[in-house]
């Protein structure tokens, strides 16, 4: 990375773009309509740099939405109906797109090039906004950091591929999973919570599951969740991350120690413990020290952070 003082921001530069890749994408769709779903997984209208290309792709999306075949004739009529045919260069421009490719075999590769260039342009635009706000000095540093984080996160989310998978592939994958699980001796196929009745009902915490613990205030939600975390880390060797918006790290650890050592939490808070409590506490501390548990007690932390 260049030192800030040596970066020349005064010279205008052409934004990142690859017009040949854009033409190849559009030409491939005109050549083979089966390429359209692949393009839709990766690209949106705004990803195209050239205005004419954006208009053509928008017209293609319109035709796809109503189940129409996408070819030179239907595309010409669609653009003509929208009053955009002449602005893109007429029917001759569409003919050039078809001639720009010989097959649709590389459609996904070309789409990724177009998308990556679009992401680079968005990053440059966001960086310019952050730079401008930083120079103006009218925005607090916390708000500026939040703006930068949200903007970059939004760009990263937009870059995620939308993956449509044929159901026959998913069925095979699902049956393979069932076969794999059937060969396991354990009743709990996921990460055990330590609460046997719950594990019997759910077969443990499963990958991609979102589990929400909900109850009225002071009903033990935090204790239950920390119980899940402790058991998963100590007994299942699962890596656990804990984000706390209210309790501090020491408060969380004291609760975990109390539960793992079976020691009254009031005794921990007051320091009034029996001799046997100290033994159990030391053993529990040893187990927790080896557990892959990570705690963040940053107040007001955002999802982006």
**Residue ranges of domains in the chain, CATH in brackets:** 19-159 (1.10.860.10), 212-296 (3.40.50.300)
Residue-level pLDDT at 69: 93
- Pairwise CA distance, residues 10 & 2, whole Å: 16
Q: What is the pLDDT of residue 14?
A: 86
Phi, psi of 163 (to 5 degrees): -105, 115
The verdict on whether 20 is a catalytic residue reads no
Helical H segments across 69-220, by residue range: 72-81, 85-88, 90-99, 107-136, 141-159, 167-182, 196-202
Q: How buried is residue 85: exposed, middle or buried, by Cβ count under 10 Å (0-12/13-18/19+)?
A: buried
Asked which of 3-7, 221-225, 268-272 is least confident by mean pLDDT, the reply is 3-7
C-beta contacts of 198-205 below 8 A and 24+ residues apart: 205/232
Q: Please report the pLDDT score of residue 172 as a whole number.
A: 79
Cα-based torsion angle of the residue sequence 33, 35, 38, 44 in order, rounded to the nearest 10 degrees:
-70
Contact 29, 35 (CB under 8 A): yes
The pLDDT value recorded for residue 6 is 52
pLDDT at 7: 53
Q: What is the largest CA-CA distance in the chain?
A: 91
Confidence of residue 56 (pLDDT cuts 50, 70, 90): very high
Mean pLDDT of 234-253: 88
Point out the catalytic residue in the list 45, 149, 246, 289.
246
pLDDT at 163: 56
pLDDT of residue 204: 85
Mean pLDDT calculated for residue range 74-101: 93
Residues 6+ apart with CB under 8 A from 164: 37, 41
19-31 vs 107-136: helix crossing angle, rounded to 10: 140
- Judge whether residue 162 has pLDDT over 60: no
Give 251-297 pLDDT, tens digit per residue.
Answer: 888 888 888 888 877 777 777 777 777 888 888 888 988 889 999 88
pLDDT at 302: 60
- Confidence tier at 71 by pLDDT (50, 70, 90): very high
Most confident range (mean pLDDT) of 72-86, 192-206, 207-221 is: 72-86
């Amino acid at each position: 990375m260049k030192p800030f003082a040596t970066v020349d921001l005064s010279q205008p530069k052409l934004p990142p773009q690859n017009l040949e890749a854009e033409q190849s994408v559009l030409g491939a769709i005109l050549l083979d309509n089966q390429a359209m779903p692949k393009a839709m997984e990766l690209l949106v209208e705004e990803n195209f740099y050239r205005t004419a290309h954006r208009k053509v792709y928008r017209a293609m999306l319109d035709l796809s939405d109503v189940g129409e075949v996408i070819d030179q004739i239907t595309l010409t009529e669609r653009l003509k109906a929208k009053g955009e045919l002449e602005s893109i260069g007429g029917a001759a421009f569409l003919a050039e797109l078809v001639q720009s490719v010989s097959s649709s075999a590389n459609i996904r590769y070309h789409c990724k090039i177009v998308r990556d260039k679009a992401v680079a342009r968005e990053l440059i635009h966001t960086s310019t906004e952050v730079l401008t706000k930083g120079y103006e000095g009218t925005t607090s540093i916390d708000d500026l950091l939040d703006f930068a984080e949200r903007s970059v996160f939004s760009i990263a989310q937009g870059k995620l591929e939308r993956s449509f998978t044929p159901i026959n592939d998913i069925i095979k994958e699902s049956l393979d999973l069932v076969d794999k699980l059937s060969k396991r001796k354990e009743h709990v196929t996921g990460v055990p919570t330590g609460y046997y009745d719950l594990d019997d009902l759910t077969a443990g915490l499963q990958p991609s599951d979102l589990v929400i613990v909900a109850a009225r205030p002071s009903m033990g939600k935090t204790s239950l969740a920390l119980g899940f975390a402790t058991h998963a880390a100590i007994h299942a060797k699962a890596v656990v991350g804990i984000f706390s918006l209210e309790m501090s790290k020491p408060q969380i650890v004291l609760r975990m120690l109390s539960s793992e050592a079976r020691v009254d939490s009031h005794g921990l808070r007051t320091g009034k413990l029996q001799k046997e409590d100290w033994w159990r506490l030391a053993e529990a501390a040893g187990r927790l020290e080896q557990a892959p548990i990570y705690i963040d007690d940053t107040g007001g932390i955002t999802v982006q952070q």
